[in-house]
C-alpha cells in the first residue's frame, strides 16, 4: 500500500487519483503509524514551506518520514514535498526543514522576461537513470508551479535539471528516496508514467 501523507497542504486527491489511474493501491493518511507501516510513502503538497513544516511537526509526521527513509522504504516527494526534505528554506524568512538532504531552498531570480512563479510546462534534462524515469525521455515536458527551488549541497543527488532563466534542480534521487519539483499528477501521460514507475518500484 502507498501512503499519501495528509498535512493540510492540498492536492492530495489529484495525487491519489493519479495512482488509482495506474492501478496502484493508495490511501491518504495523517497517521504517522500508518506511514511507518506502508510499503511506499508519498509526500505531496502545494503551499508555503513554513506552514507545511509546522504541520508535519505538529502531527509527528517529521519523525515518521525520517524513520521510513532511513529504513529504506521507497519515498516520493512532490513539489513542496521535495523542498521539505532539505535543511532550510528562505521562503518568507528562514525556516528549518526536515534535514534529510543537505542544501537549501531559494527563490527564483530570473531575467525580467521570466515571471515568478514558474507556472506551466517545462522540460527535464535527465542526470540519473532512475527507475522513476523508466519510459521517460530526456527533454520530456512536465508541469511546474513554484517560486522556489532546491540547491542540493551534494550534486550527486540531482536526478534532473530544468532551465528557467538558468538551470535548477527539478528532481533528486538517492537510494530509496526520490522527489520532483514538477507535479506528475498534473503532467498527463508522462506524469502517470512516473507515478506508475514509483508504484512498481
Query: Alpha helices of the chain — where are they, by DSSP H?
Result: 12-21, 32-37, 49-58, 61-71, 80-83, 188-200
Q: How many residues does the chain have?
A: 201
Q: Give 201's DSSP letter.
A: -
DSSP string computed for 86-129: EEEE-TTS-EE---SEEEEEEE----TTS-SSEEEEEE-EESS-
Q: Give 1's DSSP letter.
A: -
Which residues are tagged catalytic? 79, 183, 185
SS3 state at 2 = strand
Q: Are 82 and 158 in contact (CB under 8 A)?
A: no
Bridge partners of residue 167, in order along the sequence: 163
* Cell (9 digits) for 63: 519523525
Rounded distance between C-alpha atoms, residue 129 and residue 93, angstroms? 35
Rounded distance between C-alpha atoms, residue 185 and residue 67, angstroms? 26
Amino acid at each position: 500500500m502507498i501512503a499519501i501523507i495528509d498535512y493540510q497542504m492540498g492536492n492530495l486527491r489529484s495525487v491519489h487519483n493519479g495512482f488509482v489511474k495506474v492501478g496502484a493501491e493508495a490511501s491518504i493518511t495523517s497517521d504517522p503509524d500508518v506511514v511507518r507501516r506502508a510499503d511506499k510513502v508519498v509526500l505531496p503538497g502545494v503551499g508555503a514551506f513554513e506552514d507545511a513544516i509546522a504541520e508535519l511537526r505538529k502531527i509527528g509526521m517529521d519523525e515518521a518520514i525520517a524513520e521510513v527513509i532511513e529504513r529504506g522504504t521507497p519515498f516520493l516527494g512532490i513539489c513542496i514535498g521535495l523542498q521539505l526534505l532539505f535543511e532550510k528554506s528562505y521562503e518568507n524568512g528562514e525556516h528549518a526543514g526536515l534535514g534529510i538532504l543537505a542544501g537549501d531552498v531559494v527563490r527564483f531570480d530570473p531575467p525580467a522576461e521570466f515571471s515568478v512563479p514558474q507556472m506551466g510546462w517545462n522540460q527535464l534534462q535527465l542526470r540519473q537513470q532512475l527507475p522513476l524515469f523508466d519510459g521517460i525521455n530526456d527533454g520530456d515536458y512536465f508541469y511546474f508551479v513554484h517560486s522556489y527551488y532546491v540547491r542540493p549541497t551534494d550534486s550527486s543527488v540531482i536526478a534532473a535539471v530544468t532551465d528557467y532563466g538558468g538551470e535548477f534542480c527539478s528532481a533528486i534521487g538517492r537510494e530509496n528516496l526520490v522527489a520532483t519539483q514538477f507535479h506528475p499528477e498534473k503532467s498527463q501521460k508522462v506524469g502517470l508514467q512516473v507515478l506508475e514507475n514509483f508504484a512498481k518500484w
